Structure 1
Amino acid sequence: MSDHEPRSAETQLPPLGTGPFRARLGQISVIACFGGLLFGYDTGVANGAEGPMAQELGLSLIQLGIVISSLVFAAAVGALIGGKVSDIIGRRRSIIIMSVLFFTGTLLVVLSPGGPELGTHSDVGYGTLVAGRIMLGLAVGAASTVVPVYLAELAPYEIRGSITGRNELAIVSGQLAAFVMNYVIAATLGDHIVGIWRVMFAMCALPAIALFIGMLRMPESPRWLVEKRRHDEALAVLMTVRSEERARAELGEVEQVAEEEAAEAKVGLPGLLSNKFLIGIVLIGIGVSMTQQLTGINSIMYYGTRVLKESGMTESQATLANIAFGVVAVIGGIIALRNMDRLDRRVTFLIGLSLTTTFHCLVGIASVVLPEGAALRPIVILVLVVGFVFSMQTFLNVAVWVWLAEIFPLHMRGLGIGISVFFGWFTNGLLALFFPTLVENIGITGSFFIFAAIGVVALTFVWRFVPETRGVSLEKLEEDVTTGEIHILTRKKRIVTAIVKKP
């Protein structure tokens, strides 16, 4: 089977073809990806805003860590709750609720009382700030699970990777927007406005409003509608994003799978716990989600300015140079989208982890070889960290979110991705909480060597356990995952690949 040839089970569907439905699918993905944009802005804005914020509110290092990590730990809860809620009330309604949370959380952060007139520290301001960050975290976590699932369930399998992957491109675009806005606001208003960090945070209210208004005009997931026995509505939605022949054929597949699930009377958590293969795939999902975070990518996105300052840059140089992380992340995301329906998910995972682990080692070595104060030290470390971010975004981040949105059966898709992403966000939270202290105590050298060691373990895990999902409809994937066939197919492909590569 070639890289572009679908499995035989998929050829039963009529070809996708072209038509106005492709434009509608693109419109839906753009609106839904405002959730990813908010995800990115809210996680990236702290990288540059944290310094002025800590100074104005008189925050200690641990309090600053709590403010930053509170969003991340709340995102873990939001991912778990958001996935399950979306299984109950629908993907579309869940995204609308998320937009309200984004807007309300932004207001709490921006209006947190504090400043010189209240002294060096305000408990009320600190508490309000943390409350706002928690609300934003719940929205970010829900967005990280619901938006990819929504896009995956609407997209045809032939282009599912590139459609679902647009959310990750929106995330890194949001982070880049945050980095650029932070620098522009600090450069133009920093000397004129007290509480400049509030302006930085306030900018995310605009995409929250756009997401709310836009989703009011978007359809519900047709696969979720079928599960709720709303077949006519599901067909009506499919007819807007497929040709008529393809829509009817695809609906038939979804209905067949839903009927089989209903006959077994085991859905959601009971269905998960009653099947050893489903338990296994959730454990693998947890591993993939944690692997993504243990590369340390979000430590750079949250504290990149701090890392660059530790390498020898000034505050202004680090804030400006930090934009490079956002730029290469977006470029990498664009390349990843182009390759998402061309390369197997496992291949992208293995390439990505090999590259990120290599760059971790190089950063650690550079920080040892080049002593503090050396003119080349900050430049070399910047180049290497940019290389790490580019590798991560090109080969890992997009592929991970696409894989997580594909792998779980319909009756537990929200629950499965919610559980997996919960552990990913929790890992992310621990890193966000302790990374400043880690860099302070063991420096760049020790921090990046730790990430490199974890990368070696992650490579072994992916090669041994992670199954392939590209080029297969969600209904066929569901059958293979539920019966354990997907592991057999992946092992066969791995063996064939090894044989082919032998000289």
Structure 2
Amino acid sequence: MPNPPNQLGGDSPSIFPLVSKKREIVLFSSTAIALYGYDQGMMSLINTNYSYLKTMGIAEESPIVGIIVSVYYLGCAAGAVVASWLADREGRKPSIFTCLATTALGNILMFVSGLSGLSAEASSSWNGHAIITMLLGRIVMGLGVGGIDAVIPVYSSELSSDKARGRALAQEFQMNIFGLLVAYAINLGITIAWGKENQWAWRVPIIVMQAFPILLMLVISRLPETPRWFFSKNRKDDAKDALEDIHGKETAASKFAELEKAQEEESNAKVGYKDMLIPGGSHSHPSMVTVMGQINQALTGYGAVSVYGPQIFELLGFNTRPAEYLTLGNYISYFLTMTIAWLTIDVIGRRRLMIWGSAGLSASFLLLTIFGGLATVSRIPDLAVEIPGTVILFIATTIFGITWLPTVWLIPTEIYPSTARAQGAAISVIVWGFANFTVTLLTPIGFNQLKYWLFLVFAVTNGFAGWWTKRYSPESGGRSFEDNQGFFESAAKEGSWVVSKVDGGRFKRMERKAVEQPEEEEGIRSPLLGRREN
């Protein structure tokens, strides 16, 4: 088992003298989540590189372009299952380490596919096997990144306070957008410098990604395993050491008692995928909330916007290079405005943000449909369409980042007991993988067949996402993991999944307590980022 967590004692120092252990955990988790965003930004311009298309032996408008992008998500789905099993069996940290190594291997396979030395021309010596190597690399990297996306939210949430889980995960997903931004900026800069005929214009952005998993594998041994996992394996001494490593001895004692009580309540509640996925199973209800959360996020259309950003701007009438610059600007805005997400998610709540987000995105895509249509009318000045269309697309991206990006990843980590949390996160990634596989596969076809009417499709699907969330998705923020089980228990007793009818509608919004404990207040302001050194 790599980097055994039980080697960490209560006096383990931080990697950096001025950085607390809590901050290290956030930085590590955030950097790991950035891998997901980096791939999206990386592929958005690789798809239009002429050397890449020639090396793979495909045409620019071939559906195979979408297949190469989308098989990655199938790998993610499979990786989530394997990683969640390993996370429960060996620990969160060993699972993450294995996923990082797998990601690095897949990245190397992508880099070498069709490699032809220092020449800018594709080598014929691969005899058509370049595309097979690329597809294999995409799948293998998907296995690693999918596993990371399944385990990191669990790892982070199990180390966060009840009042700060949302902010911690939102900060991590801001780094996801940072990864997307960095990948796209590198890709765009190299493409401008070397041109779309140069093979290194698409290979260099791929290999740069190696810095993420290598760095993370080097530092993971310094981080603690989650105390909840230790309790699930009856390793109470290790759980105590981990709590002291994170919180200090004084706070660790009270948290140890809380976790011990929670574990006693869950000790006889072993849960498997059968209980979670078969209708009528003991945990089928939270699984349906998880499944529909990811499906609805895919229906917002922003998987397509992230991967095919330049093509989206071209539908508004922009030429290729201005569309690429505007995509970069949109990603910069996306990253900066994600700050609002971690300032609001533990105040407004997950459910309300998603409902408001769907309404805003529906309106935005409806307006984009109108402007996309106007872009085809020759009598209308180009700027009359391009300027307002760009503003709306920037606003829509901001809305998605604040409302839908972190929430659906957070909810599965909050609504399952410890014995099912890793499997719940895996289900989330599996559905995300298949949903985004479908969206990224069909989007190029939508561009070619529907043109700007594709925006109208997304306007309708966002309306459905908002309706379903309002009716069936409970508010899980601000409550303990154990408290959130109360919603599903009440729903079973009352025979209804409609949030407004369960327990008098108590789970329609976050609970507000008159008096907060000092530690909880600190957690709200600064989850895992406290200034106090541990």
Per the normalisation by structure 2, the TM-score is 0.83
Number of residues paired by the alignment?
Answer: 476
Matching residue within 481, 492, 506 for 1:492: 506
- Between the aligned residues of both structures, percent identity stands at 24
In 2, Cα distance between equivalents of 1:271 and 1:191: 51
1:382 aligns with 2:397: no
1:44 aligns with 2:41: yes
In 1, Cα distance between equivalents of 2:341 and 2:240: 31
Distance 1:22-1:396 versus aligned 2 partners, 3 A rule: farther
Distance 1:277-1:356 versus aligned 2 partners, 3 A rule: farther
Choose 191-200 or 74-83, whichever is displaced more: 191-200
Tell me which residue corresponds to 2:137: 132
In 2, Cα distance between equivalents of 1:130 and 1:403: 32
1:150 aligns with 2:152: no
The one-letter amino acid paired with 1:41 is: Y
In 2, Cα distance between equivalents of 1:70 and 1:26: 35
Matching residue within 405, 422, 433 for 2:430: 422
Question: How many angstroms does 1:380 deviate by?
Answer: 3.3
The one-letter amino acid paired with 2:411 is: W
The one-letter amino acid paired with 2:335 is: V
Distance 1:84-1:480 versus aligned 2 partners, 3 A rule: farther
Question: How many angstroms does 1:432 deviate by?
Answer: 0.7
- Show the 5 A alignment for 1:20-169: 23-52=20-49, 53-60=52-59, 61-113=62-114, 116-119=121-124, 122-169=127-174
Question: How many angstroms does 1:460 deviate by?
Answer: 1.2
1:206 aligns with 2:203: no
Show CA shifts across 1:402-438 (max 9, x none): 2222122111111112113211220110111111111
Give unmatched runs, 5+ long, in structure 2. Answer: 1-16, 512-534
Question: How many angstroms does 1:314 deviate by?
Answer: 2.3
- Show the 5 A alignment for 1:160-199: 160-190=165-195, 193-199=198-204
Question: How many angstroms does 1:73 deviate by?
Answer: 1.9
In 1, Cα distance between equivalents of 2:127 and 2:316: 32
Contact 2:315 2:372 in 1 (8 A): no
Show CA shifts across 1:183-206 (max 9, x none): 111122337943410011111001
- Show the 5 A alignment for 1:357-372: 357-371=362-376
Tell me which residue corresponds to 1:411: 419
Tell me which residue corresponds to 1:436: 444
Question: How many angstroms does 1:110 deviate by?
Answer: 0.7
1:269 aligns with 2:273: yes
Question: How many angstroms does 1:307 deviate by?
Answer: 2.0
Question: How many angstroms does 1:240 deviate by?
Answer: 2.2
Tell me which residue corresponds to 2:224: 219
Tell me which residue corresponds to 2:356: 351
In 1, Cα distance between equivalents of 2:510 and 2:299: 30
Contact 1:33 1:170 in 2 (8 A): yes
Tell me which residue corresponds to 2:324: 319
Distance 1:232-1:105 versus aligned 2 partners, 3 A rule: same
Distance 1:495-1:152 versus aligned 2 partners, 3 A rule: closer
Q: What is the RMSD computed on CA atoms of the aligned residues?
A: 2.6
Show CA shifts across 1:335-371 (max 9, x none): 1011122111111111111111111111111112332
Contact 1:407 1:477 in 2 (8 A): yes
Show CA shifts across 1:202-234 (max 9, x none): 110011111111212211111111101111111
SS, match of residue 263 in structure 1: coil
Distance 1:493-1:402 versus aligned 2 partners, 3 A rule: closer
In 2, Cα distance between equivalents of 1:188 and 1:367: 31
In 2, Cα distance between equivalents of 1:103 and 1:185: 22
In 1, Cα distance between equivalents of 2:272 and 2:190: 47
Name the structure where helix makes up a greater proportion of residues. 1
Distance 1:483-1:78 versus aligned 2 partners, 3 A rule: farther
Choose 242-251 or 312-321, whichever is displaced more: 242-251
SS, match of residue 342 in structure 1: coil
The one-letter amino acid paired with 1:46 is: M
Question: How many angstroms does 1:180 deviate by?
Answer: 0.9
Give unmatched runs, 5+ long, in structure 1. Answer: 1-19, 498-503
1:391 aligns with 2:391: no
Matching residue within 460, 464, 489 for 1:453: 460
Distance 1:81-1:279 versus aligned 2 partners, 3 A rule: same
SS, match of residue 51 in structure 1: coil
Contact 1:113 1:122 in 2 (8 A): no
Contact 1:235 1:251 in 2 (8 A): yes
Runs of 4+ in structure 1 over 6 Å off: none
Per the normalisation by structure 1, the TM-score is 0.88
Tell me which residue corresponds to 1:8: none
Choose 36-45 or 121-130, whichever is displaced more: 121-130
Contact 2:285 2:488 in 1 (8 A): no
In 2, Cα distance between equivalents of 1:144 and 1:294: 19
Tell me which residue corresponds to 1:400: 408
Show CA shifts across 1:317-351 (max 9, x none): 22211112211221232110111221111111111
Distance 1:359-1:427 versus aligned 2 partners, 3 A rule: same
The one-letter amino acid paired with 1:449 is: L
Show CA shifts across 1:448-490 (max 9, x none): 1111111111111111111111111223334554564895347
SS, match of residue 254 in structure 2: helix
Question: How many angstroms does 1:440 deviate by?
Answer: 0.5
Question: How many angstroms does 1:147 deviate by?
Answer: 0.6
